[in-house]
Amino acid sequence: MRIGIIGAGMAGIRILYEYIQHKDVDVVIFDAPHYAGRGGPFIHDHSSLLLNQPQTYMSLDDTDDGYVRWLNENLPEQVDERFTSRTDFGKYAVDTFHKYIESPNARFIPKRIQKCLKNGRRFILVDEDGENHHFDGVHVACGPLPYQDPYELKGTPGYHGKPYPLSQLWQEIQNESSIGIIGQGLASVDVAVFLEDMGYDGRQVYFSTTGFFPTIRGEHMELDYKYIPKVLQEGSGSLDVLLEAVMNEGKDKGIDFKKLIPQPSMDGRAYLEYQMENLEDFAIGQLIVTEYSQSFPSYWNRMNRKDQMEFFKKYSGYFTLLQSPMPIESAKKILRSYARGKTVSYNDIKEIKASDAGFVLQRKESQLRVPRLMNATGVGSLGKPMAYENAAKTLVESMYNEFLLETHDGGGFMATYPGLSAISMRYGVIDHLKLHGSLVRNVMFPNNAIETLAMEANNAVESMLLLAE
């Protein structure tokens, strides 16, 4: 069996790891040389940019301590830190990738794939030089599509479609009197931390649909779960049943989830200060939401469309606040900037217009002006405005036009669970074509953790190998 893997980021590396355990499978992995082994999120950048998952959870093999062992050998001074930098984890990923491609049944081709074509039961991958590569099965782990562009500002002078690498953007932004940042997820946390560490003295204007940064990650603790495990394992896929279990779990642990969400009187600063005073309660809430993240996709895929859409409409914002918390070190820096009057955040920016002096941000009853805007929104969706071009977009658009992909209502693309085979309007289930990462973000929901990418890889590879029997 000959397998092609498109993309050598975190998902691609983990898929490769699964295949090199099977010496009768020939596996070829493709990516641009400067991205291979780290992908976009882990390219070299400023050391202040921390990953939001504790480093003890980060591993690209089937052990729990792969990254910690690498730190012991290469950066022993970092072993006792709770969180690691994007750059350091990228170094580990590159080392791990190069070790894996030394396996006798693995080969790395340093080229991007621009097209994936179905040829009977096989596939043809067309690289950037027009060369064809033939495979029995393909894993698409090309990384995320470009960031969404909610105000359609792509190409406007002074507008940065993505924030990375921040260290390269610094020369352009360091002397500006103010900067507007669209979005308040983990990417915007990186921006805030970077600007604080670099001593940026201008005003930072953050805005999003909520007006709040993610919650602060509390300390890990062992909890005895009484309600959620039973629902996830035996439940029929009802949103109401799941919400009841979550609320009961919180009540059993002495917390009220309603008190963990921002109150009407709170602005962004007040919400962070409130969390600092109640870190244990937030830690419990985060653990309840995230502890069973590997079991949740199974339940999610038993939900009907109505429940999934209701979740996105009513609860996804609150869920994201708890599910993707930031390190406390990052929160302290953001609070310091708030206290100095250098950071403000809003949830009511209705329109943005370019002007000779930069950008006019239209609020309900007032305007703000900033000379530059930085987009930190998050992954876009096919058919909607995106802030820049990338190789993933080129490939995915080609596959969509070939009827190999169908869009999911909530974003990403349709795939089976747990095998992650692409679902096509023309071909039905394409067993030998597997989708990964953000491409299946609403099939493997939530899927932003390294351990979830590992589960994806294991399930998809196991499904692919069964097809060869």
- At 48, the amino acid letter reads S
* Domain that residue 189 falls in: 159-214+327-375
Instruction: Name which residue leads in pLDDT, 20 or 313.
Output: 20
Task: Tell me the pLDDT band of 445, cut-offs 50, 70 and 90.
Answer: confident
Residue 184 lies in a domain: yes
Residue 219 lies in a domain: no
Q: Do 193 and 104 fall into the same domain?
A: no
Neighbours of 280 (CB within 10 A): 12
- The phi and psi torsions of 36 (rounded to 5 degrees) equal -60, 125
Distance, CA of 260 to CA of 254 (rounded, Å) = 12
pLDDT tops 80 at residue 235: no
Residues 6+ apart with CB under 8 A from 253: 223, 284, 288
Distance, CA of 227 to CA of 235 (rounded, Å) = 11
Q: For the chain, what is the domain count? A: 3
Is the pTM higher than 0.85? The answer reads yes
Q: Do 202 and 345 fall into the same domain?
A: yes
Q: Do 139 and 10 fall into the same domain?
A: yes
Residue 179 pairs in a beta bridge with 204, 372
Residue 354 lies in a domain: yes
Q: Do 29 and 55 fall into the same domain?
A: yes
Residue 151 lies in a domain: no
To the nearest 10 degrees (0 to 180), the angle between helices 186-197 and 328-339 is 60
Residue 381 lies in a domain: no
Q: Do 53 and 133 fall into the same domain?
A: yes
Q: Do 180 and 141 fall into the same domain?
A: no
pLDDT at 154: 96
Average pLDDT over residues 296-318: 90
Residue 132 lies in a domain: yes
pLDDT in tens, 344-370: 999 999 999 999 899 999 998 899 999
